[in-house]
Structure formats: C-alpha cells, structure tokens
Amino acid sequence: MSNPSLLILAGDGIGPEVMAEVRRIIDWYGEKRDMPFDVSEGLVGGCSYDAHGTPLTDETMARAQEVDAVLLGAVGGPQYDDLDFSVKPERGLLRLRKEMDLYANLRPAQCFDALADFSSLKRDVVAGLDIMIVRELTSGIYFGEPRGIIQEGNERVGINTQRYTESEIERVARSAFELARRRGNKVCSMEKANVMESGVLWREVVQRIGDTEYPDVELSHMYADAGAMQLCRWPKQFDVIVTDNLFGDLLSDAAAMLTGSLGMLPSASLGAPMDNGRPKALYEPVHGSAPDIAGQGKANPIACVLSFAMALRYSFDKGAEADRLEQAVEKVLADGLRTADLLGEEGATPVSTSGMGDAILAALEASL
C-alpha cells in the first residue's frame, strides 16, 4: 500500500518560513510515528509568476488533482500589485479551489486558554471557544453571472449576482452536518432569507437535508447579520455554522479575531471524495503572506502547523495524531513561548519561527 501523498506549495512572503517548520513535523511523524508521507513541492502565487509567468502552472494544477492533500502557505506581495488581474498571485489559489471543486471551506475558531487575554472580548466569553464555520466556497456572489462594470446612461454600474443551485447548497450542508456529528451535534445555518431569494432557498434546502438525512443533529437558523452580533456577544453558543460564500467570508474573519491572533488559525477546503474515499483537500493558514516580516524569523508557524493537523484529521483519518499535534501546540503556548505576534504579556518567552518549531517538536517528543 502506497504512502499518503502531500503536495506542498509554500508560496510567497512568510509562506516558505512557516512551511519549513511544518515539513520538520511531517518528517517527525514519518520517523517517530511510522507515518511516512510522499511529499512533493511546487510553486504557487508570485513565486510561480516570477518563474513561469503564471501564478499556477498546468503541471502543478495536475499534480494537485492527483495527491491526497495539498498544503499551502500564503500568496501575494506588494511587488505584484500592478500585475494584470488574470495573473495576480491570488488567481493561483482561486484556480486550485475552483478546479479541485473545493466547495466546503472549514474555518475553525479555537481559543487556547493561554491566549484568551489576547482577544478583544472578555476572557470568560472566549476561553475554551471551539467553533467551526463551514463556508460554501465555489459558488454564490463571487462566481455568479452576470457580473462586471457596465455603462448605464451617464454613470457606471457594478454588477455581481448571488446565485445558488439546490445541489450546491445540499453538498455543503451535508459537510456541515457530518462535521457536527463528530463534534457537538449542532448546526446553525446563516443567510438573509428575510431579504434575499437565495437565502429563502438556502434555508429551505438546509432544513430539508436536516430533516431527512440528519434528524439526530440539532439544526437552527439565523440571519447572517444577527449571527455576526451573536458571535461577538456569546460565541460559545455555536458549534458548527454553515453559510454561503459571501457571509462565510465575513463571519469567519470576524470569528477568527475572537481568538486574539489571525496568525493562529488554520483552514481546510474540501471537495468530493476521490477513488480512495478521501475528499479532495487543500489546507492553508488563514493569515496572509506578511511581506513586511518575511525572512526575519518573526512569523508564527502555528496556523500552518494546525492546518497540517486538520489534514491528519480530515484527509488521513488520523484523529488521535491530530489531537497529539494540537496538544503539543497547546503545551508550548501554556509554557509561555510566543512569536512576535503574540508578545505583550508579562513572563512570555520570545521565540523565532524556528524556535517555535523546535518547541512543538520537543512537545511531540514528550508526548511519546
């Protein structure tokens, strides 16, 4: 039986630095846990444009379709701002999502106790927070037609179309319900059914899927603007939130900041099952390429490390090993080690990007 396969696309800015620490952890699992991975590497984003004139080559795209999972760092940088829209670094990431048909974006918002005071909310509101936002990723207003900027009389008009089919809603709803069964068994679906027909359809379809296929999962509905307010008021009321592309973009970023640092948060984008039964999958940290600190050893690798933990759980059915890695991260933070983005508390021990990697590896060793 062949080893599970991973394609690493480190990307731009701090991407290569944080991915280097993840690569050390991948190697550790191969050596110490008898879990070898077949790892290949490629280019995406600005570095791919620099080398090939495109943010993602056809060869790299084909490789992404073949492997069990893709692990991505970050893309972009100010040096690419003036490029034509069609070759901007972000187009490489969007092509991966679209051609792999990664329709379910999983964005956890988890607050480690050691970091509860970094949140802008009170400690008791966020300590122990562990929610999952499931965002539909390949349809909705970001992809709907017609779109564009047209001339209408004496002024220009910007047009974007919110569009969802029943089948698109059904498949992301099933992803949310399946996740809930592995967590707290609660789903809250968010839309704007009070003012949008697409929201009416969304609510009807999610309710039908819940009633007929997942009657054991508690389902509730909430308007997305009310959901944003409730995330700030008492986020621990939620377990799994499922929502569309636009609202998911907004709500997941809001939930991310509840935890105190964007540099701490992973994500997964999942598609339909492949022949081996595993979903097509891309894992990436939520943070950007942070070009202002690239190459300085200041980047926090934890979000990328936790993205690999998500890959262990959702692509490789290694939930216990994902727990091991998450617990190693939690121990390091409890011990007071902090990269530059997390400094500011008394008694914290500043560490570099590689220093944080060293500490996580030491905690993994101690877990054996």
Confirm whether residue 83 is marked as ligand binding.
Answer: yes
Report the pLDDT value the prediction gives residue 366, as an integer from 0 to 100.
97
Is residue 122 annotated as a catalytic residue, yes or no? no
- Alpha-carbon span 189 to 204, nearest angstrom: 11
Is residue 249 annotated as a catalytic residue, yes or no? yes
pLDDT in tens, 63-108: 999 999 999 999 999 999 999 989 999 999 989 998 999 999 999 9
Confirm whether residue 77 is marked as ligand binding.
Answer: yes
Report the pLDDT value the prediction gives residue 276, as an integer from 0 to 100.
78
Is residue 225 annotated as a catalytic residue, yes or no? yes
Q: Which CATH superfamily is domain 1-115+262-368 in?
A: Isopropylmalate Dehydrogenase (3.40.718.10)
Report the pLDDT value the prediction gives residue 116, as an integer from 0 to 100.
87
Contact yes or no for 188/230 (Cβ under 8 A): no
Q: Which of 101, 113, 225, 323 is catalytic?
A: 225
| Torsion over CA: 318, 18, 96, 27 (sign) | negative
Q: Which of 12, 68, 164, 192 is catalytic?
A: 192
Domain ranges of the chain: 1-115+262-368, 130-258
Is residue 142 annotated as a catalytic residue, yes or no? yes
Confirm whether residue 154 is marked as ligand binding.
Answer: no
Predicted TM-score of the model (pTM): 0.91
Confirm whether residue 335 is marked as ligand binding.
Answer: no
Contact yes or no for 254/232 (Cβ under 8 A): yes
Is residue 98 annotated as a catalytic residue, yes or no? no
- Choose which CATH entry (3.20.20.100, 3.40.50.970, 3.10.20.30, 3.40.718.10) describes domain 130-258: 3.40.718.10
Regions in the chain scoring below 70 on pLDDT: 1, 261-262
